């Protein structure tokens, strides 16, 4: 049996609204053969589903490539659907049938954007203008056969046709660097249209474009007026195409959403509902004319990343009455989203909900860490039977909801919480014999879920929720295990390149909202180019390349990578030691001075170490992209930085001058320690941990690599000891305190229930969850094989489970672009039993902690001995092994 399955185009199944002239194709392979390697592929692309009119026929190509096969046929047309299929053979000549048919449909490509941006002419009053309702009616002469809407907004929009919501996507068009890039979406609306009159309606809210942003409560940072732009293209059965655009014939009015702000919540007055507003025949004579808003259409780009959608429902777990008498619903999980509820009552009755992540040490509802974000929902009943509500242009970060007002008794069955985030596919399953580590994995996953609402945010609850670059770069390695994040980061990295300064500096947050804030508030003096934050420009594209093999994205981002490196070089002492500028450094490390957020590791050390890291990654990228001169330049620069670092920060006897854990971690992991002093550096790190009672003291830059620094240097037991600590400070301390996500501070909540300063104390902040990568690679034993020439994208993998800490079993499964890589191991009766699965068209190196001669496995598989155990090479298939534990 041989078959090509799970066909993807640009990571997506059957993508609608693709904006590339050279789409790339990928597929997985199903086969019952062990050690299968693809010998050839044959791709056909056609204009019709029966493949009678071929657009491209690759013919049979001798290659094992099954991802990112680039279209090479006749030019792709705008707004057109194409069908494609693939046939593969094995290296021994066995041929598959043609795959099932897949398709992709292009967006506007190079067509001009013709639709004006329209906005209400109603005067805006107060700090928070009401969302605007827009409508029109169109006439279709014949029965429609197809319909496509291309739509975007300055603000956030919901689109309706003939009384039905067009899509389940949320917070569209998303958050981009609006001054340079504004996304539009493509929707298939053919099934919603009918012959004759049709009504189109839209609701537009402030969103990121014009609503409150940052902790300074500033508004209108991108523009002062929200607006909608829409084109509808309808094809009928006679082959005629009709186009309709947003224009001055539309009408504008108000509806039941009286207020909707990302930080603050929403007020909805059901007494103002009129379901006919987006249906044919509605009397809009009292509505106002719209105005045209100028906008440069060259900024428009087709949707790139995954859209935000509802992902998981949580039932109310229990109703708590706090010592203050507050009625609080516990949903059991800290999440990002909203509460959907139903209620019965009299006209004018209200439901008022407030949101919080925790209860304080006395058991009362705690909102001080939300700062100025009000996170309040107010729903006014119309008094007509059972009424249901869900939010529109807002979201909250919460576990607990205080019911401040509700008509009648609270019935928990009427309340449910919905988690929302960008619609990325989950790719990881992880489990081990230590239940608290399983909870930690859960917390890591839900920290990422809660902070992937269109951009990788720092936290989802307070008046911030910004795309901090430092958080993203330390976590992307873990994120790319949890989900298929390639399209998500593709979109975000394009914004990073767009917002990058002309001199190569990288803003602290992407999209860059702090630079315009500086112009308005002198208290903020820096907005770009901290070490460990700006390095997102190099770390993120390289990680996506390493995990997915996406060379095109690496090429697109390479100028940004190079610009960041050159920015640093221009400011470094003799181009080698970076000792200038503002840096967050080892942010919120426990070795910081009392009352300070800045860790004790000197900035020039962390900055120079990360400078070396970015130069090294840029050299690797240049090599992959065949930029030989750049590769040579950056390899030489990396060597020079290494020597300068050693001269500056190591004494002749091998002592690192900065006596902090993070200083030793960075030097060890990045290879900056003089080889002859490596053992001393490892011992000194161990001593620093021991001095702190076996605990870490690291912040944002040291924490992600602390376990790696130990386990790669013969200290696996110490790494496990650190991971399994349960008292403060540790990952499992948070678990013991009831956390369901990762905290911003090790001591966000202390053992006695007292709290860190409310100024900056998120209980959903994924940065310290970067330990997940070590857990998945070491406990699970699964990693891409970076030592292999074709290791990128999981084409080659390393299976190396390393039991420790008393763990007796581990299980991990990762769904790569090629299929499922999995490792399962269990220790019983003094032996370690291991089962691994390698997907077709890939290879894996298996390393088990035993001598090769002592490993029992399938016939014909040979182990060789190395420093870290017996190793063998495996083709695709499932294999069982047994060795002494």
Q: Which pLDDT tens digit goes with each residue over 492-510?
A: 999 999 999 999 999 999 9
Q: Which residues of 723-762 are buried (b: 16+ CB within 10 A; e: fewer)?
A: bbbeebbbbbbbbebebbbbbbbbbbbeeeeebbeeebbb
Sign of CA dihedral 351, 352, 356, 358: negative
- 609: tokens are 């170490």
Q: What is the pLDDT of residue 524?
A: 65
Give the integer Cα–Cα distance in Å for 863 and 857.
10
* Antiparallel, parallel or unpaired: β 265-269 and 257-261: antiparallel
- Asked if residue 410 has pLDDT above 70, the reply is yes
- Are the C-beta atoms of residues 540 and 472 closer than 8 Å to each other? yes
Using pLDDT thresholds of 50, 70 and 90, give the confidence band for residue 522: low
Is residue 521 predicted with pLDDT exceeding 90? no
What integer pLDDT is reported at residue 45 of this predicted model? 98
Strand 257-261 relative to strand 365-366: parallel, antiparallel, unpaired?
Answer: unpaired
Q: Which pLDDT belongs to residue 865? A: 94
Residue 125: pLDDT over 70: no
Q: How far apart are CA 647 and CA 663, in angstroms?
A: 15
Q: Pick the closest to residue 807 from 787, 780, 783 (CA basis).
A: 780
In which band, very low, low, confident or very high, does the pLDDT at 879 lie, cut at 50, 70 and 90? very high
Cβ–Cβ < 8 Å for 444, 776: no
Antiparallel, parallel or unpaired: β 300-302 and 182-188: parallel
| Torsion angle of C-alpha atoms 799, 802, 807, 809, degrees rounded to 10 | 20
Cβ-proximal residues to 281 (8 Å cutoff; 6+ apart), any chain: 197, 199
User: Residues of the chain with pLDDT > 90: what percent?
Assistant: 94
List, as one string, the DSSP characters of 794-859.
GSEEEE-----TT--EEEEEEEETTEEEEEEEEEETTEEEEEEEE-TT-EEEEEESS-GGG-B-ST
When pLDDT is cut at 50, 70 and 90, the band that residue 121 belongs to is confident
Mean pLDDT over residues 550-555, rounded? 98
| Max CA separation in the chain (angstroms) | 87
Nearest to 759 by CA among 353, 521, 464, 533: 464
Question: What is the reported pLDDT for 798?
Answer: 97
What's residue 489's pLDDT? 98
Quick one: what percent of the chain has pLDDT higher than 70? 99
Cβ neighbours of residue 533 closer than 8 Å, sequence gap 6 or more: 468, 469, 470, 473, 506, 508, 584
Q: Is 416 a catalytic residue?
A: no
Q: What is the pLDDT of residue 237?
A: 86
CB burial of 17-26 (b: ≥16 within 10 Å; e: otherwise) equals bbbbeebbbb
The reply to whether omega before 560 is within 30° of 0 (cis) is: no
Determine if residue 489 is left, alpha or beta; phi over 0 gives left, psi from -120 to 50 gives alpha, anything else beta.
alpha
Q: What is the mean pLDDT of residues 538-553?
A: 97
Q: Which tens digit of pLDDT belongs to each residue from 243-254?
A: 999 999 999 999
Whole-number mean pLDDT of the chain? 96
Terminus-to-terminus CA distance in the chain, angstroms? 37
- Taking the CB of residue 647, how many other CB atoms lie within 10 A of it? 12
Count CB atoms within 10 A of the CB of residue 311.
Answer: 17
Q: Could you write out the DSSP letters of every residue in 222-248?
A: S-S--EEEEEEEEEETTS-EEEEE--T
94 classed as catalytic: no
Place 209 in a pLDDT band, splitting at 50, 70 and 90: very high
Where do we find the tokens 């997940």?
772
**Per-residue pLDDT reduced to its tens digit, 172-186:** 999 999 999 999 999
- Residue among 545, 411, 404, 429 nearest 483 (CA): 429
Q: What is the mean pLDDT of residues 515-544?
A: 88
Residues 430-477 pLDDT 10s: 999 999 999 999 999 999 999 999 999 999 999 999 999 999 999 999
Strand-pair category, 428-432 with 318-321:
unpaired
Mean pLDDT computed over 39-68: 97
Alpha-carbon distance of 677 to 668, in angstroms, equals: 10
Give the position of tokens 């009129």: 274
Cα within 13 Å of Cα(473), Cβ side: 28
What are the tens digits of pLDDT across the range 257-308? 999 999 999 999 999 999 999 999 999 999 999 999 999 999 999 999 999 9
| pLDDT band (50, 70, 90) for residue 523 | low
pLDDT tens for 217-232 read 899 999 999 999 999 9
Are 649 and 681 in contact by the 8 Å Cβ rule? The answer is no
CA distances from 229 to 110, 235, 242, 285, 471 (A): 18, 20, 17, 22, 34
- H-helix or E-strand spanning residue 140: strand 132-140
Per-residue confidence (pLDDT) for residue 98, from 0 to 100: 98
**What 3-state class would DSSP assign to 344?**
coil
- Per residue in 668-702, pLDDT (tens digit) is 999 999 999 999 999 999 999 999 999 999 999 99
- Position 274 scores a pLDDT of 95
User: What six digits make up the tokens of 578?
Assistant: 């970076």
Running DSSP on this structure, what letter comes out for residue 867?
T
Q: Name all domains of the chain by residue range, CATH numbers in brackets.
A: 2-106 (2.60.40.10), 117-260+272-302 (2.60.120.260), 308-422 (2.60.120.260), 428-778 (1.50.10.10), 780-884 (2.60.420.10)
Using a 10 angstrom Cβ sphere, with 0-12 exposed, 13-18 middle and 19 or more buried, the burial of residue 145 is middle
- Main-chain phi, psi angles of 490, to 5 degrees: -60, -50
Rounded Cα–Cα distance for residues 319 and 421 (Å): 26
**Is the model's pLDDT at 772 over the cut of 70?**
yes
Q: Note the pLDDT tens digit of each residue in 797-855.
A: 999 999 999 999 999 999 999 999 999 999 999 999 999 999 999 999 999 999 999 99
Q: Considering 261, 266, 304, 744, which one is annotated as catalytic?
A: 744
Task: Catalytic residue, from 10, 445, 464, 809: name it.
Answer: 464
Q: What is the DSSP string of 701-715?
A: TTGGGHHHHHHTTT-
DSSP state of 80: -
């Amino acid at each position: 049996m041989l078959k090509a399955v799970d066909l993807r185009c640009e990571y997506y199944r059957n993508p609608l609204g693709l904006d590339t002239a050279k789409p790339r194709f990928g597929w997985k392979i199903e086969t019952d053969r062990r050690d299968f390697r693809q010998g050839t592929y044959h791709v056909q692309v056609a204009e019709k589903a029966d493949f009678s009119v071929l657009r491209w026929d690759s013919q049979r190509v001798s290659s094992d490539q099954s991802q990112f096969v680039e279209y090479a046929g006749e030019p792709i047309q705008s707004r057109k659907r194409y069908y494609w299929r693939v046939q593969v053979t094995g290296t021994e000549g066995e041929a598959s049938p043609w795959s099932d048919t897949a398709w992709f449909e292009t967006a506007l490509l190079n067509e001009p954007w013709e639709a004006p941006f329209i906005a209400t002419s109603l005067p805006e009053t107060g700090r928070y203008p009401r969302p605007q309702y827009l409508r029109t009616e169109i006439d279709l002469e014949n029965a429609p056969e197809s319909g496509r809407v291309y739509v975007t907004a300055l603000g956030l929009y919901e689109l309706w046709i003939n009384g039905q919501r067009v899509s389940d996507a949320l917070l569209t068009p998303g958050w981009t660097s609006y001054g340079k890039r504004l996304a539009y979406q493509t929707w298939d609306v053919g099934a919603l249209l009918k012959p004759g009159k049709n009504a189109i309606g839209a609701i537009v809210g402030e969103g990121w474009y014009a609503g409150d942003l940052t902790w300074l409560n500033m508004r209108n940072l991108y523009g002062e007026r929200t607006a909608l732009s829409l084109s509808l293209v309808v094809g009928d059965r006679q082959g005629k195409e009709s186009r309709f655009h947003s224009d001055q014939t539309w009408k504008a009015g108000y509806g039941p959403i009286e207020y909707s702000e990302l930080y603050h919540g929403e007020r909805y007055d059901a007494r103002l509902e009129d379901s006919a507003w987006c249906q044919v025949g509605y009397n809009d004579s009292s509505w106002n004319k719209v105005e045209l808003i100028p906008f440069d259409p060259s900024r428009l780009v087709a949707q790139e990343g995954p859209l935000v959608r509802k992902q998981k429902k949580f039932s109310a777990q229990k109703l708590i009455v706090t010592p203050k008498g507050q009625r609080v619903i516990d949903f059991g999980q800290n999440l990002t989203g909203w509460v959907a509820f139903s209620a019965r009552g009299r006209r004018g009755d209200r439901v008022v909900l407030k949101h919080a992540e925790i209860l304080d040490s006395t058991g009362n509802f705690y909102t001080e860490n939300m700062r100025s974000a009000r996170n309040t929902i107010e729903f006014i009943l119309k008094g007509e039977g059972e009424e249901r509500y869900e939010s529109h242009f807002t979201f909250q970060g919460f576990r607990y909801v205080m019911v401040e007002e509700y008509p009648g008794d609270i019935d928990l069955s009427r309340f449910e919480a919905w988690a929302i985030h960008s619609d990325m596919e989950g790719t990881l399953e992880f489990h081990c014999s230590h239940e608290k580590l399983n909870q930690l994995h859960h917390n890591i996953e839900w920290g990422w879920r809660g902070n992937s609402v269109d951009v990788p945010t720092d936290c989802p609850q307070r008046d911030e929720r910004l795309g901090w670059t430092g958080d993203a770069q330390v976590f992307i390695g873990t994120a790319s295990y949890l989900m298929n994040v390639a399209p998500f980061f593709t979109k975000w990295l394009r914004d990073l390149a767009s917002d990058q300064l002309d001199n190569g500096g990288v803003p602290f947050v992407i999209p860059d909202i702090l630079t315009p804030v500086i112009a308005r508030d002198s208290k903020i003096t820096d907005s770009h180019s901290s070490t460990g934050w700006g390095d997102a420009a190099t770390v993120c594209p390289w990680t996506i390349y390493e995990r997915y093999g996406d060379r095109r994205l690496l090429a697109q981002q390479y100028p940004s990578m190079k610009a960041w490196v050159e920015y640093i070089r221009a400011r470094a002492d003799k181009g080698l030691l970076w000792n200038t500028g503002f840096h967050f450094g080892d942010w919120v490390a426990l070795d910081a001075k009392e009352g300070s957020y800045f860790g004790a590791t000197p900035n020039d050390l962390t900055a120079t170490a990360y400078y070396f890291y970015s130069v090294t990654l840029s050299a690797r990228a240049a090599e992959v992209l065949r930029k030989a001169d750049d590769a040579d330049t950056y390899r030489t620069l990396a060597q020079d930085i290494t020597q300068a670092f050693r001269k500056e920060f190591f004494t002749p006897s091998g002592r690192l001058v900065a006596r902090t854990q993070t200083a030793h971690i960075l030097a060890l992991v990045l290879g900056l320690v003089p080889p002859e002093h490596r053992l001393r550096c490892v011992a000194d790190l161990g001593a620093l941990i021991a001095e702190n009672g076996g605990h870490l003291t690291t912040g944002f830059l040291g924490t992600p690599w602390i376990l790696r620094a130990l386990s790669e240097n013969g200290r696996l037991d110490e790494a496990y000891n650190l991971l399994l600590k349960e008292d403060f400070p540790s990952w499992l301390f948070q678990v013991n305190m009831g956390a369901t996500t990762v905290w911003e501070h090790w001591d966000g909540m202390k053992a006695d229930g007292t709290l860190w300063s409310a100024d900056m104390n998120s209980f959903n902040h994924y940065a310290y969850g970067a330990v997940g990568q070590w857990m998945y690679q070491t406990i699970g034993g699964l990693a891409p094989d970076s030592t292999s020439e074709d290791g990128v994208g999981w084409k080659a993998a390393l299976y190396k489970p390393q039991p420790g800490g008393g763990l007796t079993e581990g299980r991990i499964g990762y769904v790569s672009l090629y299929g499922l890589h999995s490792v399962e191991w269990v220790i019983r009766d003094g032996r370690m039993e291991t089962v691994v699965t390698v997907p077709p068209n890939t290879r894996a190196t298996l390393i088990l902690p035993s001598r090769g001669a002592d490993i029992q496995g399938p016939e014909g598989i040979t182990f060789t001995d190395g420093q870290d155990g017996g190793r063998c090479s495996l083709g695709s298939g499932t294999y069982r092994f047994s060795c002494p534990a």
